[in-house]
Amino acid sequence: MNKFYTTTAIDYVNGAPHIGHAYEKILTDVIYRHFTQRCQDTYFLTGTDEHGIKIQKTAAEKGITPQEFCDINAQKFIDAWKALDIDYSQFIRTTDKQHEEIVQKIFKKLVEKGDIYKHAYKGLYCSGCEAFLSEKDLTEDGLCPNHMRKPEIVEEENYFFKLTKYKDAIIKHIKTNPDFIVPSFRANEVINQLENIEDISVSRVKSNVSWGIPVLEDSQQVIYVWIDALSNYITALGYNPDGESSVEFNKYWPAEVQVIGKDILKFHSIYWIAILMALDLPLPKHILAHGWITIDQTKMSKSLGNVISPTSVLEAFNLDIPDPFRYYMASAAPCGKDGNYSDEDFKEKVNAHLANSMGNLLNRTLSMLVKYFEGDIRPEFLEENELKAQALETVKAVKHHFDYFEVQEAAQKIIELVDTANKYVTDNAPWSLAKDGQIEKCGKVLTNVLQVMTVIASLIYPYCPNIAGAMAEQLGYDINTKLDDITCESLKAGHLIDKENIKPVFLRMDSELADKKK
């Protein structure tokens, strides 16, 4: 793999970031960091969606301009992703000048090509979805299924995109590329939606929606969300519909995977794909539709008051690093399925996996190395054994799961290796070997475990970059080692560590020591 380009959905800035937004960004960041360990050239795009009627109305209610409102809320997302160590390459805002100018050119090109045309229209519009809905999209009571309220009847003359023109081509692409939509069980859902697809409105009358990108050569219309928001994945890279695109665009597009929520799969697997086809651009290789995160098994809702800010979790548990939350969220659900967050499960899982199993394994093994061998690895301690062979098999298994974006499943494999290493220590009881005078055998056991810990540090790094870095520092291991270059022979004979440099990489969250204020 020469390069890896991944994107998230861009978040609508009408509200603050919540745990659902965080799940997508963490999931994508873990995927991005893993593939950064496998290839030389990677790029990760995220950002915010900042146009539309909801922002226009909310800003007016607050007595500020839409741009001021967007600036305030976009910063909330930037701050949240910084707190969660989301290592994106670029944060795009749809109010960025470059984005707006390229979107206008894209729109104009599609008009000139005949794929966008003007048409008088009367339809059901949901302001929550910022989308026109058909009767079949609604519940039996005539409500939007996502927002549970009646859409308003809107009558306008707008520009429409010829989505129906690309219907057969999209169906063919999905059927001939069974791994295009991940998980694959969502493909039939998309094909069913395509059966009755209609052309879509891609502009709004400026007198109704003024906060948007103006249509070139038609001052009475603003470009609607689909051409605007969806195009960010290529405008960010410097795509130029009128001539030569940027070096970055030619290098990174098409995306290897675009990560989105299952509720917007239709827009990305149908609308976005049709737009790319109309522009004669290559299609993304995969679209990963993740599930939702519930809170204590209940769907998040402002009316229920169970919307959780991701940074509030860090604050509630006095976490100096976001790694525990990152690990928990990234392993919250099987690929494409829904997951759940609860405070109690969070604490129990993180304590069990990161503190008790992984952190304690490193701490006690290093402590025994210092106690029995003054922190030295002797040449006779270096050997081949089944534990190290299993570690290398785990590397293969983790890579295989990430090839299918099975992030939770990969995490399970890593923890299985941690558990195996713990069992190896228990079964071989190096403390008993030392007591019985079997010094060389004791040293071999400890060294074997520490060699495997270097592998574990690399594998857990995408989930827990700070903890993995602390592990690698105590092991004298280069955490930037590429996965293809991993061996179980990283530690060489010589002095490894002194007693004063052995520190817990992660303390239990219910430990008094975990709260520095006590």
Active site residues: 18, 21, 126, 129, 144, 147, 299, 302
Burial of 390 (0-12, 13-18, 19+ CB in 10 A): middle
Determine which helix (DSSP H) or strand (DSSP E) holds 125, and give its type and residue range.
Answer: strand 116-126
Residue 240 near residue 105 (C-beta atoms within 8 A): yes
Which is nearest to 45 in space by CA: 95, 100, 89?
89
SS3 at position 317: coil
> Where are the alpha helices (H) located in 156-308, listed in sequence order?
167-176, 187-195, 225-230, 232-235, 247-252, 265-266, 272-278
Q: Tokens 């038609």 belong to which residue?
A: 218
Burial of 269 (0-12, 13-18, 19+ CB in 10 A): buried
DSSP annotation of 298 reads: B
Q: Which residues of 19-115 form beta strands (DSSP E)?
A: 41-49, 90-93
Burial of 15 (0-12, 13-18, 19+ CB in 10 A): middle
Which is nearest to 42 in space by CA: 288, 193, 198, 255?
255
Residue 326 near residue 81 (C-beta atoms within 8 A): no
DSSP annotation of 271 reads: I
CA distance 513 to 166: 60
Side-chain half-sphere CA neighbours of 449 within 13 A: 31
Which is nearest to 255 in space by CA: 230, 226, 282?
282
| DSSP letter string, 463-498 | T-HHHHHHHHHHHT--TT--GGG--S--S-SEE---
CA 233 to chain centre: 15
